[in-house]
A and B are shown apart, each in its own frame.
Chain A
Amino acid sequence: MAKTHPAVSNGVAPRTAPDQPNAEPRLGEKERFMLLLIAPAGIVLVLFQIVPIIFGANASFRDWQLFNPAQTWVGLKHYLYILSDSTFLTVVLPNTFLLMFLSVTLSLIGGLALAHYLHRNFAGQWLMQTIILLPQMIAPVIGAMMMRWVFNDQFGVVAAFLDWVGFGPISWLAQRWPSFFIVIFTDVWIWTPWFALILLAGLRSLPREPFEAAQIDAAGAWRTFTHLTLPMLRPVIAVCVLIRSIDAFRTFDVVWILTGGGPARSTEVFSIYTYIETFVNLDFGRGSAAAIIGALIILAVAGAMYKVAGRVTDVSR
């Protein structure tokens, strides 16, 4: 008894021998409470994200055709194939990062403009906010279908407008860059409202005094915006850009519905490439390798962005 509980060992000064447990166990009541709080979330995370990722990592080293029981170990073959696949290197990766960059930049600019528009209180403000919010609320699949219909080269409203203006029909979805333009347009259409509402909340939380001072100093609207609003919104913008960039990297539904990666694989992005390798070419090994390469790329990119964002603001708050 005395050995295990030095604190109660009949009057002798308590000492903590290195081989004896401390008076307070390592996993205290507080730590147990903390672990219990995250246990349900942790279990779901392990079972449905971490286990599949390990499973996929295993498959990526094997010759794993779907519904073919022989799963021979082939080492890095799939990785080498993808990293030397010209489609992946010259089409998929540039498309993915171009979509990520353009979608985030344009939605940020649009969002800033709409946030300023909504920031003034006017009678129809609620109605306009409703209209602006709608693209974010409806399913991206529906948004993409709408845009496909609007930009239909024969019967779409845009085609009718171009015809009326005097331009010939543009077969939007039959060429690479027009298709890609529509993909970006749709993505920006869906995500600008998200930026707008978050930035609007940011604008509303800014202190009023600096703007009054700027007005007294007769600073113009543009100078006020670049020298006051933007610097003060920087933390919000950094978090928005970080979150949205990560999400834009994995864009799937908009591209899938609008172009399906076509014409001739020219608008494929990372998620589409992985999906096609797996479920169209039915090569699970190669698809898994692509999935893991993509995950590693975005983890590296996000890590770098996180560092930059951390310099601008404390993202974790």
Chain B
Amino acid sequence: MTALCTTRSDRPYCWTDALAPGGRRAFFWLATIAIVLLFLGPIVILVVTSLRPGWAVFYIYRGTDFTLQNYRDVLATEAVIHAFVNSFLVATLATIVSIGVTVSSGYMLSRFRGPIPRAWFGTIYVFRTVPYISWVLPLYLVCYHLGIYDTYAGILLPHIAVHICFFSWIMKGFFDGIDPSMEYAALVDGCTRWGAFLRVALPSAIPAIAALGILSWLYTWNEFLFALILTGHNTALITVTMAQFVTELGTAWNLMSAMAVMAMGPAIIITLFAQKYVVRGLRI
């Protein structure tokens, strides 16, 4: 009996109990192998590709030549560095602002009843449903006319706008999980509504907000459509720069993989070290 197969003793029934013990273990191991192959396999292939020299990249499962040259080449490209800096700045700023803007909106949705919250919830629901392209497309022209196309503002503001609907909704869920009686007590003791919100409710929501912040950062870092439409040379973001590797160089899989692996870095670090927060933030 390996440790991997120990089921929790306090849980009386597990679905695999229907199988005979030997079959159960075999089934479990098969499932494990399938999951690793399916979910980790493509990522491993990408990492291995990024470590192969250019001439050996096409038969990555043959030969044992490995090199870090691809990473050196990619890091020597100014456009790549530029894109990483841009993506980092945009993701960080968009996260801070969109969280700051939606905290209060979620709190309102959670704590009040009546026509205003109902109207706001309806608005959020409708604009969450509208496809991104339906407002990013004309936003391109709006930005162009405002003269903020290909500036940080031009890419930052839509990234904030896109989070408003969903985050307000998720924040509402966070505040729903916090008992409002403390706020009522604070109000009775003469605290203002703002005080009850900022000093009583907000501190209890901080862990949940941090979880959402991590996800928000990653979503912005990973976003492609906005970056494709709303950025030019000045504010190019990693996802678009990476996509250009494929079309321009066609067969430069080794360089593209090296850049993709670096772009995956934050995702992997977050998954490994902040998984608790990710799981919490994914909850709907």
Contacts and interface: CB of A to CB of B under 8 A. Distances in A.
B214 to A, nearest CB: 10
Interface majority SS (helix, strand, loop, mixed), chain B: helix
Contacts of B284: 198, 239-240, 243
B5 interface: yes
B131 A295 contact: yes
Nearest to A212: B12
Nearest to B192: A33
A73 interface: no
Contacts of A129: 275, 279
Interface in B134-171: 134-139, 141-142, 157-158, 160-161, 164-165, 168
B55 interface: no
B76 interface: no
B85 interface: no
B97 to A, nearest CB: 9
B43 A138 contact: yes
Contacts of B132: 250, 252, 271
A189 B134 CA distance: 26
B225 A37 contact: no
A211 interface: yes
Interface residues of A, number: 104
Contact of A298 (B36, B57, B131, B160): B131
A131 B133 CA distance: 31
Contact of A133 (B7, B128, B242, B271): B271
Given A141-B239, A221-B18, A130 B138 contact: no
Contact of A122 (B6, B39, B117, B221): B6
B130 A34 contact: no
A304 B223 CA distance: 29
Nearest to B132: A250
A157 B61 CA distance: 8
B264 A138 contact: yes
Interface string B1-43: 0011111100111111110000000000001100110111111
A316 interface: yes
A204 B31 CA distance: 21
A56 B161 CA distance: 17
Interface stretch (B65-73, B98-106, B204-212): B98-106
B70 to A, nearest CB: 14
B129 A302 contact: yes
A171 B2 CA distance: 43
Interface residues of B, number: 103
A275 B157 contact: no
Given A40-B101, A142-B263, A150-B45, A51 B142 contact: yes
A198 B282 CA distance: 7
A120 B7 contact: yes
Given A137-B271, A274-B137, A132 B39 contact: yes
Given A155-B57, A157-B41, 13 more contacts: A31-B116, A37-B197, A38-B105, A128-B32, A129-B275, A135-B39, A138-B264, A155-B60, A157-B60, A193-B39, A212-B13, A253-B239, A284-B137
7 contacts: A56-B138, A145-B256, A149-B45, A149-B257, A193-B39, A253-B239, A284-B137
Interface of B: 3-8, 11-18, 31-32, 35-36, 38-43, 45-46, 49, 57-61, 100-102, 104-105, 107-108, 112, 116-117, 120-121, 123, 125-139, 141-142, 157-158, 160-161, 164-165, 168, 173, 176, 193-194, 197, 218, 221-225, 228-229, 239, 242-243, 246, 253, 256-257, 260, 263-264, 267-268, 270-272, 275, 278-279, 282-284
Interface of A: 29-31, 33-38, 40-42, 44-45, 47-53, 55-56, 59, 114, 116-117, 119-124, 126, 128-135, 137-143, 145-150, 154-155, 157, 160, 189, 193-194, 197-198, 201, 208, 211-212, 214-215, 220-222, 224-225, 239-240, 243, 246, 249-250, 252-253, 256-257, 270-271, 274-275, 278-279, 284, 287-288, 291-292, 294-295, 298-299, 302, 306, 316-317
